[in-house]
Amino acid sequence: MTPFRPFLTAVSLAALLAAPAMAQSPAPGPNDAPSAGMGHKMPHHAAKLTVTGQGRSSAAPDLALITLGVSTEAATAEEAMTQNSSRQKAVIDALTAEGVEARDIQTAGLSLSPKMVYDNNQPPKMVGYVAQNTVNVRVRDLDGLGAVLDRLVSTGANEISGISFAREDMAEAEDKARADAVVDARRRAELMAEAAGMRLGQIRMLSDAAIPEGPRPLMAMRAEAKADSSVPIAAGELEVSAQVTAVFDLLPAEGAPDAPKAPAE
């Protein structure tokens, strides 16, 4: 057996010399990309599809907003203001008698100006003074709105410059409009994905875009004032809009070569 000892010693020495080199070769880490020869596919990154959805909803108004006033003329400023104050007080008393609360009556403007007459080839001539007093009024009883306007005119209001309708709480209508906007966004996304030969994946982002405009009156008339009122009023409906933006994953269609396979049962 003696002749084999040098051969075994040489083999042992070669193994010892190779051990440090093997120790210096690091093992592949979890973040190391596999080599092309290992047969692994690169991870699939889904494309993104961004869509905008629109939603609308309507609600019946429960408030009427009126701007009305009293304008008087007199030879002197004091007389014009005295007459104006007396008639405006009668208007406010009429509003109170019709059930309009003090919190719903607000002075919007008060002015006193000279009344001038301009004749051809003559210098302007002052013939008196004009006093104006304007108030904004909220009427909550829409069924009695026509009667309120009729009484205001009969008690001295000779200027009605505007009337509009609103709703005190539009939250329910706004929520419905937002929900419809989300449904519309998904519908649009599904349509676009199908047209592109793909399918929708998970939703990645959903945001609510602000609509600057407030409720808008619809043309369709909904309710009229009582038949015994001399001023017919049609309240109609109010419309609110909502807009959302959604971002979806866009995936290959089912059965496509790159489509992820369903897990085995």
Q: Fill in the DSSP letter of residue 261.
A: P
Residues 114-140: tens digit of each pLDDT: 999 988 888 888 999 999 999 999 999
Query: What residues are paired with 113 via a beta bridge?
Result: 130
What pLDDT sits at residue 96? Answer: 93
What pLDDT sits at residue 123? Answer: 87
SS3 of residue 46 by DSSP:
coil
> What are the b/e assignments for 61-91, b being 16+ CB within 10 Å?
bebbebbbbbbbebeeeeebbebbeebbebb
Q: Which residue shows structure tokens 């875009």?
A: 209
What pLDDT band is residue 85 in, cutting at 50, 70 and 90? very high
Computed over every residue of the chain, the mean pLDDT equals 79
What pLDDT sits at residue 172? Answer: 93
> Are 234 and 218 contacting, i.e. CB atoms less than 8 angstroms apart?
no
Judging by DSSP bridges, how do beta strands 47-59 and 238-252 pair with one another? antiparallel
What pLDDT band is residue 8 in, cutting at 50, 70 and 90? very low
Residues 144-161: tens digit of each pLDDT: 888 888 889 889 999 988
* Cβ neighbours of 250 (radius 10 Å): 18
Q: Where are the alpha helices (DSSP H) in the chain?
A: 5-23, 77-97, 145-154, 171-195
